[in-house]
């Protein structure tokens, strides 16, 4: 029976402890994301204001930085230490700043390729596609991903870049629910697990692309 009495809000600290102890991790993370997304967006807007076109000058995908919100908040929860006295909101703000700065530093050495080209690599490997993009680049990327020891990597890339709606990539909070856990039967991979596999592949792709461009 609904008594009309609202349940007390779970404190941030309890949600953080759940994430650190892997207890109701996804539920706790989603709650933190709902509460603190505004802080992340505020910091990103300061580093990459749309009006000044900063991200374009630095060759940084502004949308991807915004979409990394879940990842940054998750990392903030894992690294938060209440004994240091800082509020969790302050900690998220600091982590968001570090993340933005890291993207700027990476951009200085990153060899870019067009997102549309990257998407085509997952759609088709035919000659028609190769006519639109550099053949050596496309074959290199496809080869790297398809020969990764973990077959889930290709599925992660497919969900992330192909099955998204509009111009935005699919959020990690949706992707991880479709990726099975390697050791725990019947469970899905965590958000962090998906990100780790994705980033591992990206590093290998970037190494190969740099060799091709040289």
User: For residue range 73-105, what is the model confidence (pLDDT) as tens digits?
Assistant: 999 999 999 998 889 999 999 999 988 888 787
Residue 172 and residue 197: Cα distance in Å, rounded? 12
**Owner of token pair 């994705």:** 198
* Cα 136 to Cα 157: distance, rounded to the nearest angstrom: 20
CA-to-CA distance for 52 and 172, rounded, in angstroms?
A: 28
Q: What is the pTM of this model?
A: 0.53
Measured over all CA atoms, what is the biggest interatomic distance in the chain, rounded to whole angstroms? 69
All structural domains of the chain with their residue ranges: 12-107, 115-213
For residue 192, count other CB atoms closer than 10 A to its CB.
Answer: 18
Residue carrying structure tokens 């630095």:
58
Residue 188 CA neighbour count, 13 Å, CB half: 15
The confidence score (pLDDT) of residue 112 equals: 46
Greatest mean pLDDT among 34-38, 59-63, 96-100: 34-38
E-strand stretches of the chain: none
Count of CB atoms situated within 10 Å of the CB of 98: 14
């Amino acid at each position: 029976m609904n008594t009309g009495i609202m349940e007390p809000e779970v404190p941030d600290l309890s949600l953080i402890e759940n994430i650190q102890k892997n207890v109701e991790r996804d539920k706790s993370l989603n709650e933190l994301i709902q509460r603190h997304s505004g802080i992340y967006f505020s910091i990103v807007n300061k580093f990459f204001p749309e009006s000044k076109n900063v991200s374009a000058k630095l060759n940084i995908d502004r949308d991807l930085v915004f979409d990394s919100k879940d990842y940054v908040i998750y990392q903030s929860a894992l690294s938060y230490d209440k004994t240091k006295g800082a509020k969790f909101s302050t900690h998220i703000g600091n982590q968001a700043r570090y993340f933005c700065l890291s993207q700027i530093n990476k951009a200085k050495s990153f060899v870019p390729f067009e997102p549309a080209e990257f998407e085509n690599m997952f759609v088709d490997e035919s000659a028609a596609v190769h006519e639109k993009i550099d053949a050596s680049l496309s074959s290199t990327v496809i080869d790297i991903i398809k020969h990764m020891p973990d077959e889930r990597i290709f599925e992660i890339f497919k969900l992330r870049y192909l099955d998204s709606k509009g111009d935005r990539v699919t959020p990690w909070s949706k992707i991880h629910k479709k990726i099975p856990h390697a050791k725990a039967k019947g469970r899905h991979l965590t958000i962090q697990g998906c990100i780790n596999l994705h980033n591992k592949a990206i590093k290998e792709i970037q190494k190969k692309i740099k060799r091709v461009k040289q």
